[in-house]
């Protein structure tokens, strides 16, 4: 707790003194008119707005209810910084805590999500998390977080400022979403004819485009080592847009014959054959960066011939082609899986190389525009973050 003097009217409080974890239970959401289910995967990092959800009608084992005006906090893997402000009622995962002020005349509900977004709160959450593979904090631990609380009129002023900046950030975020939509429309219109379903290019089996396909090797977890001779890309290292979180890729100490057999080359195409982590049919294009990489289990490596550009195949697998043709390849109920043989039988719309290159130029132009928008969004988001930390900590002191 800070020993610096506070501004007049401000006071140091503990989180549990002014906030409660509502923990409402709902055993029959569909009968009671609740339609939406929110899991951690539906909450974006450092974004207070819930824009995705599942349907209660599809079934759920969750029973925790949230209502408008509550702040949702992801207690699992708190480093992901998942906080959301609810504007509708729904059911949420047990890994989401549901906060609300004990008294709205002491703490404004509209200010609470920004307190939970502060660096100080996340540092506390991380410092109280336990577990190695999937660390979690707890409501009992979060109650001890101490922070300076301003008077109600100043809370209103701060909340108005922060929500106004958040609206600006959302405007840039919406523009980014629109550009993503344009990207998908560009790819889909290039691949499919006027009916939106029939390829306007010759369809060629993936096997005819592939020199070699190979499953990633299985090996004991005990072989992972910082001194390993190969970095091992796993499905857990895929990000949402088909890239790799390289900082998280671990090294393993493997036999040279295994490394040589599975060594990734620039342009190799990886397909996630399991949906447990990356998402069924997620894809990645290998790129050289001076390190030795191999794919781990649950990935299939395809080494392409010159008739198909790997970046074109990446674009295709991120278009409606993925939904129409890749996902149906999966077999199994508990954990659907795509086999290499079924993947090789995929019919790939195959334009001439010059046409593939033309599409990739269009995509590059759109990505350049996306990067410009991301720069503006990042600037506003950074400003928001700085102001949150200033108001939650710095502005309290004289």
Strand partners, 337: 274, 331
- SS3 string, 288-314, reads CCCCCEEECCCEEEEEECCCCCHHHHH
Low-confidence ranges of the chain (pLDDT < 70): 1-4, 239-243, 245, 275-279, 333-334, 393-398
pTM over 0.75: no
* Helix-strand-coil split of the chain, %, nearest 5: 40, 20, 40
What single string gives the DSSP state of each residue in 170-199?
HHHHHHHHHHHHHHHHHHHHHHB-TTSSSB
Contacts of 222 (CB under 8 A, 6+ apart): none
Closest CA to 106 of 164, 161, 154, 157: 154
pLDDT at 3: 59
Decide: helix, strand or coil at residue 80: helix
Give the side-chain half-sphere CA count within 13 A for 186: 19
State both tokens at 289.
């960066």
Residue 125 CB contacts under 8 Å (≥ 6 apart), including other chains: 73, 75, 78, 137, 141, 142, 145
Give, in order, the Cα–Cα distances in Å from 340 to each of 215, 270, 275, 301. 8, 11, 15, 9
CB-hemisphere CA count at 13 Å for 14? 8
CB neighbour list of residue 185: distance below 8 Å, 6 or more residues apart: none
Rounded CA separation 26/47 (Å): 26
Give the CA distances from residue 167 to residues 39, 172, 239, in Å, rounded to whole numbers and listed in that order. Answer: 24, 9, 26
State the pLDDT at residue 1.
47
| CA-wise closest residue to 185 among 315, 55, 350, 292 | 315
């Amino acid at each position: 707790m800070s020993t610096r003097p506070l501004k007049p009217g401000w006071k140091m409080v503990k989180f549990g003194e002014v906030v409660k974890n509502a923990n409402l239970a709902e055993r029959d959401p569909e009968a009671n008119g609740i339609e939406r289910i929110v899991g951690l995967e539906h909450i974006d990092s450092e974004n207070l707005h819930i824009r995705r959800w599942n349907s209660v009608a599809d079934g759920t084992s969750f029973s925790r209810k949230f209502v408008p005006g509550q702040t949702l906090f992801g207690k699992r893997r708190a480093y992901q910084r998942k906080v959301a402000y609810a504007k509708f009622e729904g059911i949420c995962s047990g890994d989401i805590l549901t906060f609300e002020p004990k008294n709205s005349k002491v703490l404004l509900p509209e200010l609470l999500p920004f307190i939970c977004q502060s660096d100080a709160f996340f540092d506390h959450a991380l410092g109280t998390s336990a577990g190695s593979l999937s660390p979690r904090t707890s409501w009992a631990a979060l109650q001890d977080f101490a922070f300076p609380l301003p008077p109600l009129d100043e809370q209103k002023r701060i909340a108005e400022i922060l929500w106004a900046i958040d609206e600006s950030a959302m405007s840039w975020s919406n523009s980014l979403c629109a550009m993503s939509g344009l990207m998908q429309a560009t790819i889909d219109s290039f691949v499919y004819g006027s009916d939106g379903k029939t390829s306007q290019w010759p369809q060629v089996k993936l096997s005819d485009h592939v020199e070699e396909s190979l499953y990633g090797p299985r090996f004991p977890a005990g072989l992972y080592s910082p001194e390993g001779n190969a970095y091992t890309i796993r499905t857990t290292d895929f990000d949402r847009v088909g890239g790799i979180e390289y900082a998280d890729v671990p090294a393993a100490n493997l036999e040279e014959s295994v490394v040589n057999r599975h060594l990734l080359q620039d342009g190799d195409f990886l397909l996630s054959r399991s949906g447990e982590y990356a998402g069924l049919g997620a894809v990645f294009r290998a790129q050289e960066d001076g390190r030795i990489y191999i794919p781990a289990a649950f990935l299939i490596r395809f080494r392409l011939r010159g008739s198909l550009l790997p970046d074109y195949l990446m674009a295709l697998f991120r278009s409606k082609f993925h939904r129409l043709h890749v996902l149906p390849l999966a077999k199994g109920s508990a954990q659907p899986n795509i086999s290499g043989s079924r993947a090789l039988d995929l019919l790939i719309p195959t334009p001439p190389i010059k046409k593939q290159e033309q599409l990739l130029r269009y995509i590059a132009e759109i990505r350049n525009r996306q990067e410009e928008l991301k720069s503006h969004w990042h600037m506003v988001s950074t400003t928001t973050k700085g102001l949150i930390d200033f108001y939650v900590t710095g502005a309290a002191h004289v």
